[in-house]
Amino acid sequence: MKDADLAEPIRCILSDVDGVMTDGRIIYDSSGVETKQFNVRDGLGIKLWMKSGFRFGILTARNSPVVQRRGEELGIDSIQQGFEQKLPAAMETWQSWGIAPAEVCYIGDDLPDLPVMRQVGLAVAPVDASLDVRNQAQWVLRSKGGEGAVRELVDRLLRAKNRWEEHVRVS
């Protein structure tokens, strides 16, 4: 199926965090404070997606103040943390937005993401996702988690929807 056909109905992206927006490592400093490293290009991609009139949400099994801060900094529509069973939380999110499952793109990297990936219109995985997740995905990206996977996804969706050029400024 062509990118344009898969992208056409998509109105929102829901994203896992660890292994998608980050490289999956969890780092604790000597005081026990958790740190994560986010790719700035993913942040711009999320902003471009939302500027285009679409919704973006985070859905993660863990709870992290760092994720909350990054999500708020980007103005992300929904930040859902602490959901080991992701499908009920995902359904609640898209239903609250008035969006059908076929209009949802979900990007995930590991087994807890599979139930959501099986229900949405477009399932996506970073190249370093687990084998089962890559096998479930309609799109397997070239980027690894934490290395611009979300940005690659947004670029691909916006280009397929013929919405990319509105963001490109030629000087």
Per-residue pLDDT reduced to its tens digit, 38-80: 999 999 999 999 999 999 999 999 999 999 999 999 999 999 9
Confidence of residue 171 (pLDDT cuts 50, 70, 90): very low
| 90-95 long-range contacts, CB within 8 A, separation 24+ | 90/14, 90/59, 90/116, 90/119, 90/120, 91/119, 93/14, 93/57, 93/59, 94/12, 94/14
DSSP conformational letter for 147: T
Domain boundaries, the chain: 3-68+79-93+106-161
- Fold (CATH) for 3-68+79-93+106-161: Rossmann fold (3.40.50)
Q: Is 18 annotated as a binding residue?
A: yes
Rounded distance, CA 125 to CA 107, Å? 5
What pTM value is reported for the model?
Answer: 0.95
Q: Is 29 annotated as a binding residue?
A: no
